[in-house]
Structure 1
């Protein structure tokens, strides 16, 4: 069987495929290692600081005012009012009702 025969070329192509699969598996291992390192690095990083400002939104979620961090007391009272009497549900992810001490 010569290399120019169809069987010889097919054998070469199968060999090439095995080598490429090995390289792909090795690349996948490298990717998994780097993803693990990135995840570990992200866990060590401190969370971002809370902003020193807040954006108040009005009707249709349009911004109406920008507040500094010292003005949060007004938002605190508005949030309690919205949760207790306004019928506004709390976010299920950040659970502000627990931080505000309402709807326990």
Structure 2
């Protein structure tokens, strides 16, 4: 017959293993609960109404200078922006030479492509 190998040290390690597995399961449940809470909160939060197009400003010599045109929800725009109508955005891109954001592509949205 095959005798099972055992020692006090092995029994301690097996107990530690079972305890750690239970702790890991608990942590995974907590993570699942928190993720569910975050998803629920995000689903309830309304999207802010804002402009569809904005011009982003930078400072040069202490003066604001138009830098780029973005879609209203683009996170690449600086925190200093001004809303634009579609016509103002077209003019800024086509006539004034203001660059279009390469991430949100307002020029494609407006039908202006280089």
TM bracket (short chain): 0.5 to 0.7
Structure with more of its chain in helix, by fraction: 1
Return closer, same or farther for 1:42/1:80 CA change in 2, 3 Å cut-off.
farther
* Residue of structure 2 equivalent to 1:96: 106
User: Per-residue CA shift, 1:9-31, capped at 9, x if unaligned?
Assistant: 33023112212112212211220
CA-CA distance at 1:78 after TM superposition: 1.0
Structure with more of its chain in strand, by fraction: 2
TM-score by length of 1: 0.55
User: Per-residue CA shift, 1:33-88, capped at 9, x if unaligned?
Assistant: 3213312321331223437x9652266xx86256754xx35852212336xxx594
Q: Hey, what's the Cα distance between the residues in 1 that align with 2:93 and 2:109?
A: 11
CA RMSD, 1 decimal: 3.8
The total of aligned residue pairs comes to 89
Name structure 2 gaps, 5 residues minimum: 1-5, 66-79
* Residue of structure 1 equivalent to 2:44: 44
Q: Which has the higher contact order (CA 8 A, sep 6+)?
A: 2
CA contact (8 A) 1:54 1:67 kept: yes
